[in-house]
Structure 1
């Protein structure tokens, strides 16, 4: 069951160093730099257990991957994320969440008092954004989970408050943030585009049906107005549906003098034609809205990346941090969630991610205290060429996300008991967006390689 890559490079310190190219000299296993502690900020990918409490813990969950150590069955299923693996490589204690708790529905076990952990410096929280406090799973979104989603900006302030306002300068600081901001922007864009499409579709349906039904009346112009009014009134009535709207139009047409419209053989094809025209109009309107608003989302995410740069420079470096590794946004469009989108949306995602990452690159250019890690290029290559990376499936989820198996439909409560059948240990994704422990390991290996090249490891 041991994968060749694991045989060549174990996930302990020797593994990450040996895979790093310009690693320690022969016989040297200790890092070049001795960091006093590891501090991490971000979202799902770096969360080491903020929500591992209450019902989440009872369900065998707590982190956004395949939870639990199942390595006895499949060596890759360690249950660890990349920040835990890096801590091992650095000879540091396993990272622990800076706070734990949930602010959700008590009836479901999702209300657990928030507790600060004074000696823990892993601030990343699943669902967190860069500056906005309402992230994925927050109760303000209507989610019963009540995820805390303290943003990156707050995470940093919380750490500074804990350590007296200054970094000592010998900590290694990791930042991985931005994915949830993208998700929120896309969700809002999709909802608004759908609303625009639905509105245009309803208008097109009513116009088409009224026009067809009025054509057989003695005064088509007046009939069209009366039929249109009847259709609008029925559509606005609570409890109406497509059939009742059509029948309202038919009745109005009969009253307007088109008695033949009462036959299903007559109004049926008319309704079908109206529905086809409505679908075309709705699709066009939705696409037009997305095309018009997409550039605004690109601009918004570019500003968000600028906020990341500002926080890192002003609050991290400006307060004494000397070693900051920032992981850019991965190839989101290649995740199962991204793959499910139409081509136009995938292209928009790529544009957004490129702009976000380019802003990070420009913002940190020439800054020797910041190591920018290009997760995007690696993740895109992993999607296009999975075999050299040891990946067996990068299109499907390893976790069974059905309600019966996974009540949250999320990697947060995925574990060895609710995986899909067969060996999923080398799948890329646990759920639609969150990586498996194996993909986490690939990220850890990349981080180690870049730290070695930088002289930090």
Structure 2
């Protein structure tokens, strides 16, 4: 995983206090406005196959959990180049469905059930709270004062509690794991900082520091591996509850993202730990007899392939920049006196007026340091549809 010092402290905060002040909202609003995108994949159902899509996961699949606040104040709403869609929405449209959020709220608004089947929430880990961007335990109204980050396992529990079972006319999309990687890296970062402080104070020797550092690394990789095993268990719950069409996407190559490129080792460690998660997930699915029952999509290899040939895929910028002008968004929040302005540097609050350049949603691969643009989401949804067709469903 990426060395601790390369992960900004704001990463754990992620969207902390993102909507705390009206002044910050007004400042960002001078940059933000709603607009239109090109890649919304309005294809008719493939081969006449009409399916209801149900989605569980994190920000890559979140269709608008935090939209009530983000859209109203910034013109954002999803973790991409808004108002563009994410891949789960595109896939739903491809099979004749419309995917809406199952719950909406967060950032001071209590989470409320909605009518959709998009259960994925930005910041969610596989089974544990707090997720990335969730309030610190003990904070007033911690469940919704910031990001709600309901774990993927709990998302499935919510669906089963409301609907009982899945059916043969549904396509269930599952992703997760990236936030477990980010979370455990942040823990490792804090541990490493504490160790270095002890060395500087002379309370432990360099040898003791090395031992403690190795233990922290082991703890992080163990937790990440466990999250992968847990995700396989979540998939098992979905299958056991009657789902016959289940697609599982592994974690894309985080090391190849702008965040990875900015790290000390240019993303090498991040890529290695993402591979650890993905390998463990695939192995756990195989061990449980689930791999043959699901459509396993290798998002890691896919995005590496797109990045290696980014120009032929329609992009002018790969991982060397972001479609959203994050520095301008952060500067506006700083000028407004926002106590944590870096929390505004995410695609959740991005709209056409905060694009780095016009049409950036089509020419850049990444909206922010980790999230795909509208165009990259569209390409991924097409790839997913192809994998589904290869499995014998649709064409």
Normalising by the residue count of structure 2, what TM-score does the alignment of the two structures yield? 0.78
2:117 aligned to 113, 117, 121, which one?
A: 121
Q: Is the 8 A contact 2:322 2:366 kept in 1?
A: yes
**Residue in 1 that maps onto 2:392:** 455
Deviations 1:293-313 (Å, cap 9, x if unpaired)?
323322221111111111111
Instruction: Please tell me whether residue 404 in structure 1 is matched to residue 327 in structure 2.
Output: no
Distance 1:291 1:380 in 2: 30
Instruction: Please tell me whether residue 439 in structure 1 is matched to residue 361 in structure 2.
Output: no
**Residue in 2 that maps onto 1:64:** 79
**Residue in 1 that maps onto 2:50:** 34
Distance 2:190 2:358 in 1: 36
Distance 1:298 1:287 in 2: 17
Distance 2:222 2:383 in 1: 29
Q: CA deviation at 1:179?
A: 0.6
Q: CA deviation at 1:349?
A: 2.2
Instruction: Please tell me whether residue 198 in structure 1 is matched to residue 197 in structure 2.
Output: yes
Instruction: Please tell me whether residue 11 in structure 1 is matched to residue 41 in structure 2.
Output: yes
**Secondary structure at the residue paired with 2:312?**
helix
1:133 aligned to 129, 134, 138, which one?
A: 129
Distance 1:370 1:178 in 2: 18
Normalising by the residue count of structure 1, what TM-score does the alignment of the two structures yield? 0.68
Deviations 1:178-217 (Å, cap 9, x if unpaired)?
111100011111121122223323449xxxxxxxxxxxxx
Pick which of 295-304 and 410-419 moved more.
295-304
**Residue in 2 that maps onto 1:245:** none
Superposition misfits of 4+ residues, deviation over 6 angstroms: 141-144, 284-288
**Residue in 2 that maps onto 1:340:** 262
Q: Is the 8 A contact 2:100 2:117 kept in 1?
A: yes
Distance 2:184 2:87 in 1: 26
Q: CA deviation at 1:81?
A: 0.7
Q: Is the 8 A contact 1:297 1:352 kept in 2?
A: no
Q: Is the 8 A contact 2:70 2:349 kept in 1?
A: no
Pick which of 358-367 and 371-380 moved more.
358-367
Distance 2:241 2:285 in 1: 17
**Residue in 2 that maps onto 1:159:** 159
5 Å-filtered alignment, 1:282-431, equals 290-313=213-236, 315-343=237-265, 346-365=267-286, 367-393=291-317, 394-402=319-327, 403-405=330-332, 408-424=344-360, 425-431=362-368
> What RMSD, in angstroms, separates the aligned Cα atoms of the two structures?
2.8
Q: Is the 8 A contact 1:194 1:286 kept in 2?
A: no
Q: CA deviation at 1:139?
A: 1.4
- Gap change, CA 1:422 and 1:286, over 3 Å in 2: farther
Deviations 1:19-73 (Å, cap 9, x if unpaired)?
xxxxxxxxxx7436432x11000000111111111365321111111112xxxxx
Q: Is the 8 A contact 2:191 2:216 kept in 1?
A: no
Deviations 1:309-334 (Å, cap 9, x if unpaired)?
11111x11111010100000110111
Distance 2:311 2:213 in 1: 35
Distance 1:67 1:140 in 2: 28
**Residue in 2 that maps onto 1:111:** 108
**Secondary structure at the residue paired with 1:121?**
coil
Distance 2:152 2:264 in 1: 31
List gaps (5 residues or longer) in structure 1: 1-5, 15-28, 69-78, 103-109, 205-280
- Larger relative contact order (C-alpha < 8 A, sep ≥ 6)? 2
Q: Is the 8 A contact 1:32 1:455 kept in 2?
A: no
Distance 1:352 1:297 in 2: 10
Report how many aligned residue pairs link the two structures.
Answer: 338
1:81 aligned to 82, 86, 106, which one?
A: 86
